[in-house]
Chains A and B, each alone.
Chain A
Amino acid sequence: MTIAPQSPTEVAPSDLVTVSVDGIEVRVPKGMLVIRVAELMGIEIPRFCDHPLLDPVAACRACLIEIEGQAKPQPACAIAVTDGMIVRTQRTSLMADAAQEGVMEFLLLNHPLDCPVCDKGGECPLQNQAMTTGRPTSRFEEEKRTFEKPINVSAQILLDRERCVSCARCTRFADQIAGDPMLELLERGAAQQVGIAPDQPFDSYFSGNTIQICPVGALTSSLYRFRARPFDLVSTPTTCEHCASGCSLRTDVRRGVITRRLAWDDPEVNEEWNCDKGRFAFVYTHEGRIASPLVRENGELRPASWPEALDVAARGLAAARGRAGVLTGGRLTREDAYAYAKFARVAMGTGDIDFRSRVASDEEAQFLASSVAGMPLGPTYADLDSAPVVLLVGLEPEDESPIIFLRLRRAAQKKGVRIVSLSPVRTRGIDKMDAQWWACQPGGEAIALRHILGGEKAADTLAALRQPGAVILVGERMAGVPGALSAAAELASSTGARLGWVPRRAGERGALDAGALAGLLPGGRPADDPRAREEVAAVWGVEPSSLPPGGRDGQSLMDAIVAGAQVDALLVAGVEVADHEGAEDLRRALDKVPFVVALTTHHNEVTDVADVVFPVAVVAEKAGSFTDWEGRNKPFSAAIHGAQSVADGRVLAMIADAMDVSFGSGEVVALRAELDRLGRWTGARVAAPTVAPSVPGVHGSVALATWRLLLDAGALQEGEPHLAATARPTEALMGADTARALGLAQASAVVISTDKGSIELPVRIADVVDGAVWVPMSSEGSRLLSIGARHGSAVRVTGRTA
């Protein structure tokens, strides 16, 4: 059952009408649907096709009710209330009751009634409503219609046509919400069925939502089919750990193992939707986990007891006090990131900390300090709905923040919000959002923004940005384009537009706010500001003078280590080395630093060299919170109860204890309480960066455009082949003119090369700005950082013909 979104705004009294439902008079907003009015009153009218977030179709006829003055029963899901309307539901109208019972009988005629083997059994609207509304026995004696079952509409989504009641929720979702109308009703009459075009599977990033809104068991997933009964599951509301969209999810656990995840209702964020990565990428939580602490002895890691490992770690870190660094990665909860931020300063005596295991820059650090860290909520999803214009700078929402994509698409289609995307590629996502494509050389974003600022181009965009409510969203990859974040900040401050920074990983904003970045203390406090240091020192119970100075960010630290600086220990959370722009530097640094402590869930390149490894809890095993791109904090509790694993914060507290450092318990409640006491910084901030744009490209080469696809080679997607099979192809995209100019018009594949290496990919002609090539950043067979290439890099492109 779905719940109607709460009306967020107060309705002016003049817009209210009086209607009577079952003899009870209520005043409700004019134009509200009868079925919603009844819901508000606690009167449940049966329904299948009705869904509050989809346009009404009135196809299933399950919700027929009586309206005084109408000879025939009317569908409550499609009739808007008018003043004085008198409605009688099945509770008070024989006409409505008989109509509903008749329709329910029809719906069950051809239904296989295979509830005992159906995934939906136990949580099925058809089952439930057949019990409340249907006849006790069937009068149908003819043969039921049968279909082959199930058939794949994608690698992940299975369709059982016999169970389908033709409510068209899935087809309407695909068309109206996702913009991927690959599912359609086919054939006529009783032979009507959901289907796809031949060889065009339903590979939508949002396909899993159709399973959830299917009111019967017609749509199931390869991952969950036959795995559990709903009443065997323990369900916990959670927050998605995959990206910074901040989706509320429901995690269902059976005997300590996650069996499925659903989108949960959060009208202000994800409404009732999520993406397939959030829904299906959870197999990593129980496959390949590290079981116990490990200590390196004679070059080999061996299992160790907690006390032994804690002792080794504490001694090593204590010996390196003041000469150590911390890398947290972007996937920690806000509380755990805060624990690292505090541990670094209090226990390790260092300000050398960075959460950015990706392309990053000093300019970005300054931008985050000036414009993002510790800032209050906003711009928000709701702001996107009402903005006069939304300017996307280096952000492909469908891949990088799918809920932003869904919101923008709806804002454009239902409210006419103008969207402008500054991007080297005209993507399907841009078209689906009805966005205006502003073609831009990869790496040329800063110059393009300067052109808007200078009024040389897009005067209409500049004018729109000056209107109240305008929003600029910058993507993570702008960290790698010199001057882009400076220009975006200046554009926002000069026009009054609100500026949103959209990182990809769920923990980035929380880590930033928690002070897991050199130069910043929790709450966005500048690390060199005396008052800021006093505030933090007071909460931490230390002398302000004992706090280390600002510190070096990740890349500076690596550079220093490689250059021979004295760094004696590294504390590393769940970080994939290959995700670092300077992955080679990091590898060398890890080799060079004498003592490395890793807190992680799975083995990786860091555990290959770590001296002590602590297994930590995955997100599902611990309480915490993620701060989404809006700055909204989304707390959650542990979904897997009784797990043996321990959260990072608690491990750090145990190490601190062993070091005899006063740290606190490291429990999530304690960390949260400290964060609450610290609050956000209200004092002066550093100025926004003013880096001048640099002209991209090198003569004779091609500019590389890239970002991570939603479904790629990410570590958290491991173990789920059905999900991977719905990913977009790993291919290079080029404009037709560029391909011709490079003599690649006939090429079936291209080789992209740098001084460090090359990759070969199939090539397809698409709308890509001249002189550029787009390839996925981190897909199987296309790991760009491994060849030293990033967005805006100059690369060589040569062709291969089949």
Chain B
Amino acid sequence: MTPLTPIITAHWDVPDYFTLEGYRRHGGYVALPKALGMDPDAIIGTVKDTGLRGRGGAGFPTGLKWSFVPQNDGKPHYLVVNADESEPGACKDVPIMIANPHALVEGVIISSYAIRANHAFIYIRGEVPQAIRRVATAVREAEQAGLVGDNILGSGFSLRITVHSGAGAYICGEETALLDSLEGYRGQPRLKPPFPATHGLYAVPTVVNNVETITNIPWIINNGVEWFRQFGTEKSPGFKVFSISGHVARPGIYEAPLGITMRELLDYAGGVVGGDGTVKFWIPGGSSVPMLTADHLDTPMTYEAMAEAGTMLGTGTPMVFNNTVSVVKAVTRWLEFYKHESCGKCTPCREGTYWITGVLERFEHGHGTDADMDLLVEVCGNIAGRSFCALGDAAATPYPGALKYFRDEFEAATRTPVDEAFPPAASYIFGEVAAR
């Protein structure tokens, strides 16, 4: 069985790990002076060599993204940390920020130094004040300790970090919408090109990275490329903070090398609870990726293997559902989320989510038709690849994925309301949680 690899999460049981002192006691801010002694390009090169891929969902190689930033262009550069974690099922950036805010701050300083940014922004989802408080406090502590500010540790490098709270829009997790929101505009995605690497925040070169991605950086600087690449696979190197939720005995955070299987993660999480104790369906990384079934539990959790299975690793935050859950209902809830969160800019996402949700709600009440099933496939096909940003594509994902494995449930929902076929009470778990 693949062992867990607590690295980012190694000291989360230390009560004061979120403070500067606690973080320092356990190896914090050791990477920073080392990094400041390096050539910024060497840091970019190191991150490139590790093969670290973005942990926000798309899996774009981080070092490559950094190398797109034009150097010696005479413009200010910005680092923006996307901490707007709002994907249904995803809960790994918020715990990192609460338990390990200094690792994020240290990663921000090193990353900013590498891309020659003197101002970094951390855009945190507004609904999690605990995380905002922890990160803001960590930045203040770092400032007071001379780790953030002018001439950091005598290196000549200066950095300001601004912690910004979002106002509750899923779209602001899309990097260009996040930049608009950060500039004070309504959060809607921007036309690309130009890309943020050349025209980002305030139209200057900007790197937008996920919290977990940036939090990896101090360990990479401390331990090097070889160390990092011992974890994971050739195409998916490194370790991952997996957050497991749903019908499992011990939902929570499990840090493991990429390539671990869902079956192993399920074992660590104490197995499936409720229903008949088996996995009916699961999604590997947020509702935006197609679902899988019990047949896929041995598929390695890597970018490439998940793609081969017809889904995506996404944020690496599996949701597990037992046999008491109606697929129709789960998909309907997700689509209601996408409808509510569609920013409205482009037609396919704005109108398509409105339409799909209406039809799915009929299915939920047993009023779907066979023709509706095909219609929804077409409607999803008219959104996917035609919307302005990836969020439209995401909204078009759950239904076709569900239909692939559970067509019979949709057929049943042309006759029987799902609450009759799948009484909601059967899905509730109380005892198991108390037993932890």
Interface residues of A (CB under 8 A from B): 56-62, 64, 71-73, 78, 98-99, 102-103, 105-107, 109-110, 139-143, 145, 165-166, 184-185, 187-192
Contacts and interface: CB of A to CB of B under 8 A. Distances in A.
- Name which of A106, A110, A166, A185 has the most chain B CB atoms within 10 A of its CB: A106
B388 A189 contact: no
B350 interface: yes
Nearest to A193: B344
A186 B340 CA distance: 14
9 smallest A-B Cβ distances: which pairs?
A192-B344, A142-B358, A102-B382, A106-B351, A189-B342, A72-B385, A190-B354, A106-B347, A109-B351
Interface in B346-363: 346-348, 350-355, 358-359, 362
Contact of B344 (A72, A166, A184): A166
B351 A107 contact: yes
Given A110-B351, A188-B342, A189-B339, A73 B191 contact: no
Contact of A185 (B344, B352, B358): B344
18 contacts: A56-B191, A57-B191, A58-B388, A59-B388, A103-B348, A106-B350, A107-B347, A142-B354, A142-B355, A142-B362, A166-B347, A166-B350, A184-B186, A188-B344, A189-B339, A189-B353, A190-B344, A191-B344
Interface string B325-352: 0000000000000011111111110111
B386 A99 contact: yes
A780 B169 CA distance: 48
B347 A61 contact: yes
Given A59-B347, A78-B191, A188-B169, A142 B359 contact: yes
A106 B352 contact: yes
Contacts, number: 100
B375 interface: yes
Given A59-B346, A102-B348, A102-B382, A190 B388 contact: no
A145 B354 contact: yes
B385 A73 contact: yes
A143 B362 CA distance: 12
B387 interface: yes
B30 to A, nearest CB: 44
B386 A64 contact: yes
Interface string B69-112: 00000000000000000000000000000000000000000000
Contacts of B378: 102
Contacts of A64: 386
A194 B413 CA distance: 38
Given A59-B347, A188-B342, 8 more contacts: A57-B191, A106-B355, A166-B344, A166-B347, A188-B344, A189-B342, A190-B342, A190-B353
B354 A188 contact: no
A109 B354 contact: yes
A510 B68 CA distance: 59
A590 B186 CA distance: 62
B191 A188 contact: no
B350 A192 contact: yes
B184 to A, nearest CB: 13
Query: What is the interface of chain B mostly: helix, strand, loop, or mixed?
Result: helix
Contacts of B343: 188-189, 192
A110 B351 CA distance: 8
Contacts of B341: 188-189
Nearest to A189: B342
Contacts of A141: 359
A73 B351 CA distance: 18
B388 to A, nearest CB: 6
Contacts of A145: 354
Nearest to B190: A57
B346 A60 contact: yes
Contacts of B385: 71-73
Contacts of A60: 346-347
Contacts of A73: 385-386
B336 to A, nearest CB: 11
Interface of B: 169, 171, 186, 191, 339-348, 350-355, 358-359, 362, 375, 378, 381-382, 385-388
A109 B191 contact: no
Contact of A189 (B344, B362, B386): B344
A60 B381 CA distance: 17
A97 to B, nearest CB: 12
A190 B358 CA distance: 12
B42 to A, nearest CB: 35
A219 B45 CA distance: 55
Given A106-B351, A143-B358, A166-B347, A61 B342 contact: no
A102 B375 contact: no
B296 to A, nearest CB: 25
A291 B388 CA distance: 60
A166 B362 CA distance: 27
A623 B343 CA distance: 51
Nearest to A72: B385
Contacts of A190: 339, 342, 344, 350-351, 353-354
Contacts of A102: 348, 378, 381-382, 386
B171 to A, nearest CB: 8
Nearest to A100: B386
**Residue picked from B169, B340, B343, B344, most chain A C-beta under 10 Å:** B344
Contacts of B358: 142-143
Nearest to B385: A72
B382 A106 contact: yes
Q: Which of A61, A141, A187 counts the most chain B CB atoms within 10 A?
A: A61
Contacts of A139: 375
Contacts of A106: 347-348, 350-352, 355, 382
Nearest to B186: A185
Nearest to B349: A189
A61 B375 contact: no
Nearest to A101: B382
A110 B354 contact: yes
Contacts of A57: 191, 345
Contact of A187 (B344, B359, B362, B382): B344
Contacts of A103: 347-348, 382, 386
B375 to A, nearest CB: 6
A36 B343 CA distance: 28
Given A102-B382, A109-B355, A165 B344 contact: no
Contacts of B345: 57, 59, 166, 192
Nearest to A190: B354
Contacts of B387: 61
B382 to A, nearest CB: 3
A105 B382 contact: yes
B194 to A, nearest CB: 12
A72 B388 CA distance: 11
Contacts of B191: 56-58, 78
Contacts of A191: 344
A31 to B, nearest CB: 12
Nearest to A64: B386
A59 to B, nearest CB: 5
Q: Which of A71, A140, A165 has the most CB of B within 10 A?
A: A140
A189 B355 contact: no
Nearest to B345: A59
Nearest to B358: A142
Given A57-B191, A189-B343, A140 B355 contact: yes
